[in-house]
Structure 1
Amino acid sequence: MQIIAHRGFRSAYPEMSAQAFEKALELPIHGVECDVRLTCDGHVVCHHDRTLLRTAGEKTRISTATLQQLRHANIGTSDNPQHILTLDELLDIVLAHPDKHLYVETKHPLRYGAMLEESIAMRLRYRGLLADSRIHIISFSHASISRMRRLVPGIDTIYLRREWEARYNPLDVVPSRPTARGLSIAHAKLRPSLVGHKGKRTYIWTVNEREDMQWALEHGADMIATDYPDRALEVVRGG
């Protein structure tokens, strides 16, 4: 079972900061996960929420701010200041470790629609990473997955399945044809038959409790995203 640090090593360091990713990548884990959004001047930045309120105490919206404006925000603490990363900066950090992988979650809906996927593809093309197996795309949006498959043929894609989808999609039809399926830990435990269903690899998020990590391991999860990569390593090693 592969361990992915969810938003970096966020249980110990400011989420999605350079420090959180660097500390996660020091561990013998598979890789790290980040969320991306688009600024009003076209930069792909790593941030989960629509605004900076939770991470920096500011009401600034990512989509209406320039990169320069976002640079002034401190997503760390007064003693440990950290700034928002661009996707390019995160790629530099991750790819400095040849054996590590990056899972990029596209956040939707957003005002720029397909421009997010186009911008991601452009950055990967510029850096010669279109065929790099270390880059993965994950999303709750079938449209996003389909766009990335069209823009970057062959890229690994993971569709994140919401729990409520079972009501209108009981047969687990996936029109975007992702290469793997994502489930929340709650959903996976409720419907364990979906783990490995139809031969697809399974990504489970956000697995933070030891008993849930053990459950995922015993039920054949291929990947787990966790805020506690150190704890997950202990479980996988039998500790």
Structure 2
Amino acid sequence: MRPQVLAHRGASFEHAEHTLGAYIAALDEGAEGLECDVRLTADGHLVCVHDRDLRRTASNRGVVSTMDLADLAELDFAAWKHPWAELDDERPLRDETLDSVLTLRKLCEVVADYDRRVDLAIETKHPTRYGGLVERRVVDMLTDFGWTAPGGPARVMSFSYTALQRVERLAPHVRKVMLIEHARAWPMLRRVVGEDWILGPGIAMLREHPKLAERITAAGHDLHVWTVNKPADLELCRSLGVKAVISDRPAYILDLLGA
């Protein structure tokens, strides 16, 4: 059985990450799920932004947690991806509504309204000045959309075990993905993660420690792997029985899978 393909921050290889344009492109390309990172703004909105500050993606020195949503909405979150685009006379006109800050609510609406099932993997970023409020707001959002029951399309991911514990208490039926960056963390994690939690190692770690995947699956946990962009990495995931791959290039990965 082939792995599910999720778009990492949208179709972010070709489009600016976390923009509505990147996610619509991913859906048009057939992505079966969307992955996003979320942070809280100063006025309590969940927005899809990876970094704590905006220097890389919006050419701004601001910090997401200290800014209101209205301030973020004035920024261009896409120009950095194609800095020479304005010099291309043949490039289609930009739709600026696809390039501004994206709220989690808007992304959920896109998923809910799409004409086929689309899964949504939401990563909560830590550390943050708002602590557990991030998970509470995420669960409130999933409750609004009716996605906290068994079989819902949403899963919550984090490198923070404490963050996923909060989600476990607030929404026990929502799938949890314990992200793991270093193989040495597994012996400790295996003693504390929930029986039905998914493990999310990075592809670089699996390349270096392929036996780790066998140990994780032997302990009864599915594997969701990030960020899978190359044929060799996809084949490694398939050989290890990985259930989902998160990719910057969903169309390319789907094509390799023959989907």
Confirm whether residue 142 of structure 1 aligns to residue 161 of structure 2.
Answer: yes
Distance 1:108 1:83, change over 3 A: same
Q: Could you tell me which residue of structure 2 aligns to residue 230 of structure 1?
A: 251
Aligned residues with identical type, % of pairs = 32
Q: What CA RMSD, in Å, does the superposition of the two structures yield over aligned residues?
A: 1.7
Letter in 1 for 2:208: L
Q: Distance in 2 between matches of 1:174 and 1:120?
A: 26
CA contact (8 A) 1:10 1:20 kept: yes
Does residue 96 in structure 1 map to residue 117 in structure 2? Answer: no
Q: Secondary structure at the match of 2:76?
A: coil
Distance, in Å, in 2 between the alignment partners of 1:210 and 1:84 is 32
Equivalent-residue separation in structure 1 for 2:186 and 2:153 (angstroms): 31
- What amino acid is the match of 2:106? E
TM-score using structure 2 length: 0.86
Q: Match of 1:55?
A: 57
Q: What is the CA distance between 1:172 and its match in structure 2?
A: 4.4
Bigger drift between 46-55 and 119-128 goes to 119-128
Residue 95 of structure 1: how far off its partner (Å): 1.7
Q: Which residue of 1 aligns with 2:26?
A: 24
Task: State TM-score, norm by structure 1.
Answer: 0.93
Whether the 8 Å contact between 1:44 and 1:86 is mirrored in structure 2 is yes
1:214 to partner: Cα distance: 1.7
Cα deviation code 1:164-201 (max 9, x no counterpart): x51x6536425242620010111112222332241211
Report whether the alignment pairs 1:105 with 2:126.
Answer: no
Q: 1:199-214 maps to which residues of 2 (within 5 A)?
A: 199-214=220-235
Letter in 2 for 1:189: R
Displacement of 1:137 in angstroms is 0.4
Where do 4+ consecutive residues of structure 1 move more than 4 Å? Answer: none
Are the counterparts in 2 of residues 35 and 104 from structure 1 also a CA contact under 8 Å? yes
* Structure 1: unaligned runs, 5 residues or longer: none
CA distance in 1, matches of 2:36, 2:5: 14
Instruction: Give distance in 1, aligned partners of 2:191 and 2:212.
Output: 13
Q: Which one has a bigger Cα radius of gyration?
A: 2
1:214–1:235 contact (8 Å) kept in structure 2:
no
Structure 2 alignment gaps of length 5 or more: 80-85, 87-92
Which residue in the other structure is 2:89 paired with?
none
- Mapped partners of 1:66, 1:225: distance in 2: 30
